[in-house]
Amino acid sequence: MLTRKLVIVGGGSSGWITAAYLNAALNLPGVDRRVDITLIESPDTPRISVGEATIPSIRHLLAVIGINEQEFMKATNATFKQSIKYVNWLNDDNSFYHHPFSRVRKQPLDFSAKEWLESDRSIPFMETCSEQPTICEMGLSPVMAGPWDMGAPLTYAYHMNAQKFADYLRDISVSRGVKHVMANVTDIELKENDHIAAVDTDTAGRFDGDLFVDCTGFRAKLIEEKLSVAFEDCSQWLLCDRAVTMHVPYDKHYPGMVRPYTTATALSNGWIWDIPLQDQRSIGYVHSSAFIDKESAEREMRAYQGGDCDDLPSRFIHFKVGRRHRNWEGNCIAIGLSGGFIEPLESTGLYLSDLGAVALAEYFPFKDEHMEAMAFRYNRILSNRFYEILDFINMHYCLTQRNDTEFWCEVQKPEHITDRLQAKLDYWKNKSPSMSDFDDQFLPNQKLQPFTGGDMRVPVDTAALWNHESYECILYGMHFEPRDRKGMDYQTTGSVNVHPYILQRLTHAKQKLPKHEAWLQQFVGMQNYPTAKKPKGWVA
């Protein structure tokens, strides 16, 4: 078999995820290399270093590459993530709910949601069917100090330093045969069929290839600047377009614990992420420039942290929410920000790069005549997944009951709710979500519109990321009220019921799971920082 030449333009997390994964998935040990991979990285492009939260799919990526968990955590200052805690999303009153990764499903039929809706609801819904919200609030690690003996393992992901993650994958990839070139791309040569023939650089010469991956971020140097693939603006559904970020180091600002979850706290005109690493917290206020100016946004972020952070530098990041009409055009594939962006409310930033690489490995065209068929299928997968994420994040906003600012009043208006999501919400007024609701996603009153990009079929939510249980979590965390079949509201029939398995798991967790920071100190070398004043926005 002839070796295929793959050229990745752009480094960062998306570039090195693509290089490391494809190298591991396609170039198997003991077999001749099927794909020759070169990554060209500009020495002049600023590197954006932020704390990054992930979802459990990251563990598949690490497993395929062959990465040891503890070595990875040491190299990237990583911590465990078991949930996202949503604070002040329903009302501005310090109320919260969790979206955890593990949940108990009753057998043979699961009526957890119906039973909770008909109870007095004195306990939050997810605490009746998952032990992880309480484990998170207790600040416990999802793994034990010794061998696991608590039954089914807890599902978890990680928080990490994204820049260190890119460097870690770079070192692994280069040691395994990926070529790393530091140079600026100065020209892109096209063939007669408008496929890319080669890229020229300022210091390293010319690189031809069979396939080119655009990881140049929002600039989209190949897919947009050269190939003119248009961008679908989705800002109608998600109004935030800017973030102000800040690192809060533990040497002066350690709050006394490392939360085993991400916190998303709604503020006046958006929300703030709070991501704990081993040496610092990364916080960032995602907001709408149409409703708040830069100075006010930064002031609000610093007020969240507390008045002792005036010396900490901040940085603004501008972004546009949307997707490329086609992620794969000709022999060019856009992965990462060049292919699209959705605000990171559900920690899908790295996931979209992860998905782009995993799907490319599955649909890799080993022959030129396979290119068009592979591209068609790849584009379908990526577009469906984008719209799934868009709808799910859109739901967090439109279900709010806040009316304290113009921003929160605006996001609830019907014109800011996607047609797909509205059809789901209308249907789930009649019944709780269930798995079969995602078989084809054609629901009553749904407006069936094909998406832009050449595929005339409508998008389909396949529940690949979030099934009915995740939808129930957000719906009932945000006090979504259904109706029974007679059109009447649910009536209270008794006290809330917590699954006995949950109670048993919590008893074992208190006895067997170490504090999150204690596990990090013992197994990955986190320092033991002295406790400082807790930030103003801290909700323990």
Burial class (CB in 10 A: 0-12, 13-18, 19+), 45: middle
Report the SS3 class of residue 179: strand
Q: How many CA atoms lie within 13 A of 302 on its CB side?
A: 15
Please report how the helices 371-398 and 419-427 are oriented relative to each other, as an axis angle in degrees rounded to 10.
60
Close Cβ partners of 317 (under 8 Å, ≥ 6 residues apart): 48, 242, 243, 244, 245, 284
Alpha carbons 280 and 9: distance in angstroms, whole number: 31
Please give the single-letter amino acid code of residue 84: I
Distances (CA, A) of 513 to 139, 353, 412, 508, 517: 10, 32, 41, 8, 11
- Find the helix or strand (DSSP H, E) in which 298 lies: helix 294-305
Catalytic residue among 81, 85, 226, 424: 81
Left if phi > 0, otherwise alpha if psi is -120 to 50, otherwise beta: which for 516? alpha
Determine whether 81 is an active site residue: yes
Note whether 453 and 507 are within 8 A (CB): no
Ordered DSSP codes for 393-444: HHHHHHT----SSHHHHHTTSGGGS-HHHHHHHHHTTTS---GGGGSS---T
C-alpha span between 40 and 57 (Å, rounded): 27
Contact 357, 22 (CB under 8 A): yes
| Edge-first strand listing for the sheet containing 79-81 | 51-53, 157-161, 79-81
Contact by Cβ (8 Å): 310, 205? no
The DSSP 8-state label assigned to residue 138 in this structure reads T
Assigned token pair, 396: 């967090």
Calculated CA dihedral for residues 224, 20, 158, 363, nearest 10 degrees:
60
Which CA distances in Å does 9 have to 128, 170, 182, 260? 48, 14, 10, 35
Distance CA 55, CA 81 (A): 8
Cα(430)–Cα(479) distance, rounded to whole angstroms? Answer: 15
Kind of pairing between the strands at 83-87 and 262-267: parallel
Catalytic residue numbers, as ranges = 81
